[in-house]
Amino acid sequence: MPDPISVLVFTQTPISEPLIERLRAVSPRLRVEARVAPSLDELGDVWRGVEVLYTSWFAPTPQMAPDLGWVQGQFAGVDHFLGNPVLQQAVLTTTSGIHAPNLGEYVLMMMLAFGHRLPRLLQYQQKSEWPQDRYRLFAPAELCDCTVGIVGYGSIGRQVARLARAFGMRVLATKRNIAGADAGWHLPGLSVAEQPDRLYPPAELKAMLAECDYVVLLAPLTPETEKMIGAAELAAMKPGAVLINVARGGLVDEPALIEALRAGTLGGAALDVFTREPLPADSPLWTLPNVVLSPHVGGITPHYDERAMGLFAENLRRYAAGEPLLNVVDLKKGY
């Protein structure tokens, strides 16, 4: 029999034993150990011979884990791993694809909330009164009359497009390689074929923004995308448009966003991510009336571990068989 493969599942919250057993059942070669600890320092000496690591936030140095050849991240984003020298010896993969159903619903929820004036309704509810001109103030913008622009058109973007189309919306999108196919993992039943009404290259981002009633940020955070939505891009958006960010806070120039929200040139923002997390208590975003905030929970689902372990199990099967892994990160691109 070929040599055994030592696998360490290192998380901050426990993975259920049936899911760990699912990993062990992939191949008799696998030696899977699950450890829960708040940090690397709390793990102790567990690295000897570890070849495969499943981890959320932390990865060891090459000195700690000289045999490590593959790191499977627990999340879709990998900006917290980039720069770790262990990636000079180890392949990095992500769980991109598992978040599409819940984040798609989150985005749709926010579009419906702003379209039907929910933030404004709640403000008056807190006052225990309704305004005299309620028919004007609460008149909705029906989604079937609106255009959504998706910045970063991967598995989540395609799910947003599916849901938006079900409401009769026009769908625009931008991605780095408009000709390239998406070879990443996707949940069963969610195809990779969903195409927007128009696909823009990054150089034409402002042209797309000018068309959109809602702009959804789904791009990875890289040196190239940091603050990609700044004052100029916000000024290019349609008056009254709504920005929805469920990707990374660093994609947005936060002071410029606050200024646009205060000025009323931007209709509103739904933000699940921020430049600093948790969001500082003195941030003006907390009290702006046209902003809805959530504490980076958009990607949470009761099915998270099940889906992540399903993807990891398939990648373990591929690894043991010598086949190409899914969701391999291009370190030069940062995603």
- List the one residue out of 135, 158, 146, 136 whose CA is nearest residue 111: 146
The two structure tokens encoding residue 283: 């941030």
Q: Report, as residue numbers or ranges, the catalytic residues.
A: 248, 277, 296
Place of tokens 């969701």: 327
CA dist 266 and 313 (Å) reads 44
What lies within 8 Å, CB to CB, of 109 at 6+ separation is none
CA dist 152 and 224 (Å) reads 13
Q: What are phi and psi of 8, to 5 degrees?
A: -115, 125
For 131-162, give one letter per residue: b (16+ CB within 10 A) or e: eeeeeeeeeebebeebbbbbbbbbbbbbbbbb
CA dist 82 and 317 (Å) reads 25
